[in-house]
Amino acid sequence: MENNLSQFFFSGLATGAIYALIALGFCIIENSMKIVNFAQGDFLTLGGMFMFTFLYALHLPVVPAILLAVTATALVGAAMERFSMRPARSKDTVTLVFITIGASIFIRGAIKLLWGKSPKSLPYFTGDFPVDILGARILPQSLWIVGITFLVFLLLNYFYRHTRHGKAMRAMAYDRRTAALLGINVERMVMFSFALAGAMGAIAGVLIIPITTMTFDMGVVLGLKGFAAAVLGGYGNVMGAVVGGLLLGVIESLGAGLVSSTFKDVIAFVILLLVLFIRPRGILGRGEGERV
């Protein structure tokens, strides 16, 4: 039983790390535009598909393929803001949210057209021989997922607190109008936010495609779970996104292992509803403008 608990826990950490990366993308857009980007899950699918192309069609090594996949998806995110969000010139939140839904449908259609409906998969980064950790047998790919997610969080935290663009994005999260008056190019920062959110999704995509087959619509469910993780941790809070993602992944894995795998996909949405009813601000949720 102890071994089973360890197995469920570490498996949940790997899954939760993917949710955390998606949640980070939601938080980045929330802090820049105060909206929910429903295309966030599709960035994951897009990143995985780009990775598949760069590895198998162009025969690139793993590291350059990852960097190119993340960059390409980030450019798609920037293009989404520049050519769909910005031309709307609307401050109505509902309108902007519907645009992200339309962008999500468009991206899924483009993926189906370019890569087809058949599932795609890739080999593990460093083999498939499991590692024993506290009685659990963990695939090296799972360790890559958790490690890279932690590294991304550290880099994102450093970016927000110690770089010029990061500080500009924090200022925009506090007060967009005041940031513009201080000389910050708000439109450029918003576009950069979408590029960064695209990169977060792409990193999740390139990490998860070796352990599960990827289809054109896979990002829908994963995107919703990432959203649930963001809400659980405190929507708009970067640390909360990571905590919420990891916690959701572990709870989901324990629930599927100890109760029934039938309820695995239901657990995330039950938790989302409970959080919205009991503590809408989430675990680490703070006041408006204090989220980054």
- Output the pLDDT for position 246: 93
**Mean residue pLDDT across the chain:** 87
Q: What is the predicted pLDDT for the residue at 3? A: 58
Comparing 76 with 273, which gets the higher pLDDT? 76
Which pLDDT score, from 0 to 100, does residue 179 have?
Answer: 81
- With contact defined as beta carbons under 8 Å apart, do 12 and 77 qualify? no
Question: Quick one: tokens of 237?
Answer: 């809070």
Task: Quick: pLDDT tens for 117-174.
Answer: 899 888 888 877 888 887 778 888 999 999 999 999 999 999 988 888 888 888 887 8
Q: How confident is the model at residue 287 (pLDDT cuts 50, 70, 90)?
A: very low
Look up residue 243 and give its two tokens: 């905590």
**Contact call for residues 25 and 152 (beta carbons, < 8 A):** no
Residue 2 has pLDDT above 70, yes or no: no
Specify the pLDDT at position 1.
52
pLDDT at 292: 56
Amino acid at 88: A
> What pLDDT score was predicted for residue 208?
93
Residue with more model confidence, 129 or 218: 218
Q: Where are the alpha helices (DSSP H) in the chain?
A: 2-33, 40-52, 62-80, 93-115, 140-162, 164-174, 176-181, 186-208, 218-233, 238-258, 264-278
Contacts of 251 (CB under 8 A, 6+ apart): 12, 267, 271
More confident residue, 249 or 92: 249
Confidence category of residue 258, pLDDT binned at 50, 70, 90: confident
Cα 2 from Cα 7, distance rounded (Å): 9
For the chain, give the longest Cα–Cα distance: 60
Average pLDDT over residues 5-34: 90
pTM: 0.92
Task: Examine the pLDDT at 205 and tell me if it is beyond 80.
Answer: yes
The pLDDT-based confidence of 6 (bands split at 50, 70, 90) is confident
